[in-house]
Structure 1
Amino acid sequence: MTTEIWDKTVDLLIVGSGAGSFPAALLARDHGLEPLIVEKCDKIGGTTAISGGVLWIPGNHLMARAGIADSHERAREYLDAAIWHDGPATTPARREAFLRHGPEAIEYLERKGMKLKRPKLWPDYHSDLPGAEQTSRSLLAELFDLNELGPWKTRLALSKMPPVRFTMDELSSLILVKRLWSSRLAALRLALRMLRMKFTGQDLRGGGAAWQGRMLQIAVRENIPIWTETPVIRLLTDQGRVIGAEATHQGRTMRIHARRGVLLNSGGFARNAAMRAQYGRQPVYPQTTNAGPGDTGEMIEAGISLGAAVDCMDEALWGVSSLTPGEQLPPGATAADGTPLPFGHHFDISLPHAIMVDQNGMRFTNEAASYMEVGQNLYRRHAETGKGIPAWAIIESRHRERYPWGSAAGKTPKNWLSSGYMKKAATLDALARECGIDPIGLRATVNRFNGFCRDGIDADFARGAKAFDNSHGDPTVTPNPNLGAIENPPFYAVAIYPGDVSTWGGLVTDEHARVLQPGGTPIKGLYATGTATASLCGRTYPGAGASIGPALTFGYIAALHIVADQELSGESG
């Protein structure tokens, strides 16, 4: 490849604008290198921008500020206990790199102007394992006024959901507004905040919009070039080394030379039907994904075409969603512009007076476990019996009176019932007949579960036995805040299907974020992070933000390696 054909030359080409892109670009710029971020969509921020914006970073300095002792060794003990998949991306070296550089990356971003917040209570998802944190290793961005972006405001990716005017740690409190005075005070603070916004003209956002909004602000201030609507067509190589990419920009094909390397931070393939059919678990329900529009997998395919290894391609960031009898989105699961917004039921199903059963009427999971675990168990039950999908949420009257379900809190929309999305019956037997559930199995399951509720101990799945479960239960329900009997009619049911927020497998990378071939040899000049890669955590999701935290960290690590690699060999460090 000769230099005269290049339309643009930079040191570091970053494909995609998710969580790892801005730290990599900023660090490269600090060391005198020229970065360029290219984003195929017309909005910046990737799936991170439309997500909850939570980062899982063990040993972060905000924990130390709060007087909470965390250590590299303790966090490693937890990861070693939680990660059961022994794959090429879950190596001890990658775990060490994440634990060593994650806190460093967060401190770096704070010095750059990121405003951070640590939730007081967001336990690790497997909080019963050795080394688990019972309070929080997760981090959030403080609320951010999008108006501070000026003309860049319209270029930030935003969720189509109603604007989130609170930080995500406030959500669990707001959910219990009918139950706790502290939750009512949280709702009052939110109302006052929105009143101030009305008079001041602020456009405060929490979640991923706050994180990526402030990161975009910092990047603009640091003169990081960002090209939107610039899809990469293919990666360019010379003698086995990735030296750039061919992309479409402003209506023409451009060849971009990357002197030091290319970093892929382009997302997974949740919205690529062909890839999900080839690699994903079946059955798959594309209508239940909440992945960003750019989650289409082209850069994973580009890496594969260069000989890259992949792992866990059948895995996703699972959760559970719900559909109508015709497997359509239910009423209310759309944005104002008609964009699909599938319901997620992580919080809903974990609260008292609801369980999840298969078509035999049998429970198969701890409903209050992490969303990833519940989704995996749904697929596992279906593989075992053929009667797991759809499963059914069985919901008692007190749940409908007290807690949210989907888009409705404390009441049931009439069109949920008239459409058949939510079934309603005076008896469990009648409900079972409506849903095609074995009535004998359902009665036996409910009777057994109600006994657990009286004793406070779920002898089958240990629901409510962990700090994580309790963190999204109802403390007014005793003796177990996650267990509430199913005994007061009417009874309700909703068909439950797998959902996801992205895929969780992809290109295999090493501790320097270099993309590897099947034998473990790096592809020179090619780095990757985020859901374009096979996760550091394998098939486990250890805590809130365990996708964004490592994505950010390995973007930072890639830039560290590129900066240190003065000879452009791709082998140093």
Structure 2
Amino acid sequence: MTFSSLNKQIRETKKSSINQSNYDVVIVGSGAGAMASSIVAADHGLSVLVVEKSAHYGGTSALSGGGIWIPNNDHFKAKGGEDSYQLAFDYLKASTENTVSEPRLHAYLTQAPEMIRYLENNSRVRYAVAEKYPDYYPHLEGALPGGRTLDPEIFDTKCMGSEVDNQLKASASTLLMGKIAWTARDAHKAMARERGWRFLLLKLMLRYKLDFSQRRKTKRDRRAALGSSLVASLRQSMTDRNIPLWLNTDFTDIVLNNEKVSGIEVVREGEKQIINSALGVIFASGGFEQNQKLREKYLPEPSNVKWSATPPGHNTGAALEAGIRAGAKTDIMDWCWWSPTVNVPKEDKARGIFAERAFPGAIVVDGLGKRFVNEAAPYLEFGDAMYRNNAATGGKSLPAWVIFDANFRFNYAMGPFMPAQIQPDSRLPKGWLNTLYWKAENLNDLAKQIQIDPEGLSQTVERINRFAKTGVDEDFGRGGNVFDRYYGDTNVKPNPCIAPVAKGPFYAMRIEAGDIGTKGGLLTNEHAQVLSDTNTPIAGLYAIGNCSASVMGRSYPGAGATLGPAMTFGYIAANHIAKGRANGNQTIL
């Protein structure tokens, strides 16, 4: 008896003692891609169930910026922006370096604008274009200096009742001062210190403070923003359609009948249960970054779940492993959506360091005290550079260190630090000193505290201070392109991303080679169908988001290049399943 037939026999035996329920479509996971696909499937008249492992819905999507990278979108065109399928295709071909099949690229570029158009016309989801947010690789053919990233509008959660407090994931790191909702456009204006940024912050704080009815109940802002806004609007759209969402439901395996996926096995309320799916199962359950064994099996060394900025205990790769057991093909398993992270004491997960790396007056060095990358580079490339430099230096850049001075500390945020003009050192938790950050009156003492080469650090700072005067980073080109300058301080001349590191006291913060999810997973085709080792679809099985191999390959073309594909291929999967039903539930290749 073969392994697969034995597995099938075991599953058949289990059925007699396990509760069962029946739906047309079953979706594993409750992030943005999962919710979007559930809405589209329900609008086709299909019965849909969404199952979620945790007690909260939204997954990593709810903790993200919520942006989606949608080339050739309607919002940009409505403001006079110029984009086209061909420009976007040229850009994606260049950024993915021909590692992704053209049918998948074509499916994304044609269906992404349709997806968001559909959701905005038929659900509560609302977006606005981030006109100034550039593509991440401005040097590549087809790149644009803005217009392809869409930013979620603020969503008033009052309509959701108590559910929003009890079940929607939220992250203080995406809120102004840890509690006030703001859009990514607001954040950019404040971080780049554009004209009117102080008035903007005052307006946001007053809006929050003057919401007296909400303040009497909770410190949580009634308005959801960024990823929480996206998830809240999708969840309410599910509620409008009476789409069931089962929380605390742990996926354990798929059910196969006659080589077709016909359902899933879960554990719910302590009992095993089979959920039958007449038309298809959609995996939308995230990657495997929270599974240390899988990290050690597939990712570069060293690797640690504690460095990930995703929710601990979830995204453990259960869907990935189930797909592999069913004979699925995988791809890009050695990559994450890399991002440098810091571990804040008493927080349950690491925090990503994103925009702060572009602010002038901070540098990142390795154990030799040397810079090894353009600090303002996209976070995927930054994380990759950490690993490359670590290999080249014999383990000297894991961890790395961000170094800044008193001027930077006063003016800019860094990780959990608000600028000292808002949050002086005296208001920082005492437990953070010498665990999250280190502080000294001179660079030599700081280097000794964090055990890096003092001479190397001194030389590096002397060199960057010279670059601050000329405005030209002769080593890594920091501030030399439109992407770098997006979060640079517009008031700093001649380069908004470079300022001297000169005024004591000096600070250091330890950063790790973290991630916002794994990049590799089950290989799918242009319909989001999971492919077998023979490159044929596994009937009834679809995968979207981080449990599938990214359509972006090993690249990160622009802000929202994770959620954009997750939602788009969720839209594609739901439409494909509905088309299959219309064709007598035959597998469409």
> What TM-score, normalized to structure 1?
0.92
Q: 1:93 to 1:416 in 2, by over 3 A?
A: same
1:350–1:367 CA contact under 8 A, matched in 2: yes
Provide, for residues 54-73 of structure 1, a one-character-per-residue CA deviation record: whole Å limited to 9, x for no partner: 11111111111111111111
Residue 188 of structure 2 corresponds to 172
Superposed displacement of residue 26, structure 1:
1.9
Could you tell me which residue of structure 1 aligns to residue 5 of structure 2?
none
Partner of 2:116: 106
**Structure-to-structure mapping, 1:180-191, within 5 angstroms:** 181-191=195-205
Q: Specify the alignment match of 1:393 in structure 2.
A: 402
Aligned partners of 1:164 and 1:554: how far apart in 2? 32
| CA drift at 1:313 | 1.6
Measured after TM superposition, the shift of residue 292 of structure 1 is 2.5
Kept after mapping to 2: 8 A contact 1:265/1:532: yes
Q: Specify the code of the residue in structure 2 equivalent to 1:478.
A: K
Task: Tell me whether 296-305 or 142-151 shows the greater mean CA deviation.
Answer: 142-151
Q: Where does residue 218 of structure 2 map in the other structure?
A: none
Q: Take 1:228 and 1:495, find their aligned partners in 2: how far apart are those partners?
A: 36
Residue 146 in 1 paired to residue 157 in 2? yes
Match of 1:522 among 537, 555, 559: 537
Aligned residue among 464, 472, 477 for 1:462? 477
In 1, Cα distance between equivalents of 2:214 and 2:322: 47
Taking structure 1 as reference, are residues 6 and 433 closer, same or farther at Cα in structure 2, changes over 3 Å only? closer
Alignment-derived partner of residue 328 in structure 2: 308
**SS in structure 2 of the partner of residue 404 of structure 1:** coil
| Of 534, 543, 550, the match for 1:535 | 550
In structure 2, C-alpha distance between the alignment counterparts of 1:45 and 1:437, rounded to whole Å: 40
| Counterpart contact for 2:365–2:372, Cα < 8 Å | yes
Provide, for residues 139-167 of structure 1, a one-character-per-residue CA deviation record: whole Å limited to 9, x for no partner. 12211122211253233222355334111
Counterpart in the other structure of 2:243: 224
Work out whether residues 320 and 496 of structure 1, in 8 Å CA contact, stay in contact via their aligned partners in 2: yes
Aligned twin of 1:198: 212
Distance 2:477 2:41 in 1: 47
Distance 2:148 2:526 in 1: 21
Q: Is the 8 A contact 1:197 1:204 kept in 2?
A: no
> Is the 8 Å Cα contact of residues 396 and 489 (structure 1) preserved in structure 2?
yes
Counterpart contact for 2:252–2:265, Cα < 8 Å: yes
Greater CA drift, 497-506 or 433-442: 433-442
Identity over aligned pairs, percent: 37
How far did 1:493 drift? 2.0
**Aligned-pair distance for 1:385?**
1.3
Please state if 1:273 is matched with 2:295: no
CA contact (8 A) 2:191 2:487 kept: no
- Residue 435 of structure 1: aligned partner: 450
Q: Which residue identity lines up with residue 454 of structure 2 in the other structure?
A: P
User: How many residues are treated as equivalent by the alignment?
Assistant: 556
| Structure 1, 38-47 or 4-13: larger mean CA deviation | 4-13
Cα displacement (A) at 1:180: 5.1
- Once the 2 structures are TM-superposed, how far is the Cα of residue 182 of structure 1 from its aligned partner? 1.6
Deviation at 1:506, TM superposition (A): 0.8
Work out the CA distance in 2 between the residues paired with 1:420 and 1:526. Answer: 46
Offset from partner CA, 1:161-216 (integer Å, 9 cap, x none): 5334111221123335xx55521011022022213422577711101111010111
User: Does 2:392 match 1:378?
Assistant: no
**CA–CA separation in structure 2 for the residues paired with 1:142 and 1:180:** 20
Deviation of 1:106 (Å): 0.2
> How big is the shift at 1:94?
0.7
Counterpart contact for 1:160–1:341, Cα < 8 Å:
no
Contact 1:525 1:570 in 2 (8 A): no
Q: In structure 2, what residue type is equivalent to 1:545?
A: G
Asked if residue 344 in structure 1 is aligned to residue 352 in structure 2, the reply is: yes
Q: 2: distance between equivalents of 1:554 and 1:8?
A: 26
Q: Can you list the C-alpha shifts for 1:375-398, whole angstroms capped at 9, x where unaligned?
A: 111111101112111212121221
Change (3 A) 1:452 1:204: same
- Deviation track 1:404-433 (CA, whole Å, cap 9, x = no partner) reads 122222233373774354333343333333
In structure 1, the residue matched to 2:64 is 51
1:20 pairs, out of 6, 9, 33, with: 33
Counterpart in the other structure of 1:319: 339
**Aligned mates of 1:303, 1:389 — CA distance in 2:** 33
Contact kept in structure 2, 1:24 and 1:555, CA below 8 Å: yes
SS of the equivalent of 2:275 reads: strand
SS in 2 for 1:20: helix
1:452 to 449, 467, 487: 467
What is the identity, as a one-letter code, of the residue corresponding to 1:370?
A: P
**TM-score of the superposition, structure 2-length normalised?**
0.89
The CA distance in 1 between the partners of 2:125 and 2:401, in whole Å, is: 42
Aligned partner of 1:326 in structure 2 is none
Change (3 A) 1:173 1:568: same
Match for 1:124 among 121, 135, 156?
135
SS of residue matched to 2:573: helix
C-alpha separation in 2, matches of 1:115 and 1:491: 43
Contact kept? 1:16, 1:39, Cα under 8 Å: yes
Aligned residue in 2 for 1:289? 308
Alpha-carbon separation, structure 2, partners of 1:56 and 1:427 = 43
Give the match's secondary structure for 2:322: helix
Counterpart contact for 2:155–2:224, Cα < 8 Å: yes
Write the distance in 2 (CA, Å) between the matches of 1:490 and 1:247.
55
SS at 1:231 equivalent: strand
Instruction: Measure, in 2, the Cα distance between the counterparts of 1:185 and 1:207.
Output: 21
SS of the aligned residue for 2:249 comes to: coil
- Cα distance between partner residues in 2 of 1:77 and 1:105: 21
